[in-house]
Homo-oligomer: A and B are copies of this chain.
Amino acid sequence: MDDGNPARTRIQRRNRKAILEAALEVFSAQGFRGATLDQIAAEAGLSKPNLLYYFASKEAIHAELLAGLLDIWLAPLRELDPAGAPQAEILRYVRRKLEMSRAMPRESRLFANEMLQGAPRLAEALPGLKALVDEKAGVIRAWSEAGRLAPVDPHHLIFAIWALTQHYADFEVQVRAVLGPGHDPYDEAGAFLDLLFARLLRV
């Protein structure tokens, strides 16, 4: 019941989906240890034993959430196209990443929680992450060396994009508290980041 392949019956599909949705809600808001099976079960509209009928353990639910997460999270970076226009490609990446923070703040916070704790349940995925980043860093470096982009450390450029976009999801309370009502943080951030990266990368 805790395997990765798609659930067979209609009921299984519905309930597994409800559980993962509920778990995302609770895990992202409370962290792994802070979340309880009772909370998740209540949020999913199921009883706790029934929840454990679909997933072997709390760990298993969390693991399944994380498993899907990295792929989704890194998809925009994967699409960075070496054949595209350097500045446009990076700006497009920034915008897509910011859009993900807006549309999936819970996923962002789930990821942040995991990283804050030292990525104990994501450690094995880190080498793959490094490989992808190194590859794309190579693309960016080549653009710089070809004079199509201002010279810049590609790894830290990528870190900067992550930090700046995820910040709006992970620290949303703070951002909203500081801006006060009547602001759309993500809209403003979009404009600001366009400007920032344009100035940073202009040859």
Flag if A129 contacts B31 (CB, 8 Å).
Answer: no
* In the complex, A42 has a CB within 8 A of chain B: no
Flag if A177 contacts B127 (CB, 8 Å).
Answer: yes
Flag if A163 contacts B159 (CB, 8 Å).
Answer: no
Chain A, interface residues (CB within 8 Å), range? 35 or more
* In the complex, A153 has a CB within 8 A of chain B: yes
When each residue 173-203 of chain A gets 1 if its CB lies under 8 Å from chain B and 0 otherwise, what string results? 1110111100000001101100110011010
* In the complex, A107 has a CB within 8 A of chain B: no
Bound Cα distance A174, B130 (Å): 9
Please report A residues at the B interface, Cβ cutoff 8 Å: 29-34, 109, 112-113, 115-119, 126-127, 129-130, 133-134, 150, 152-153, 155-160, 162-164, 166-168, 170-171, 173-175, 177-180, 188-189, 191-192, 195-196, 199-200, 202
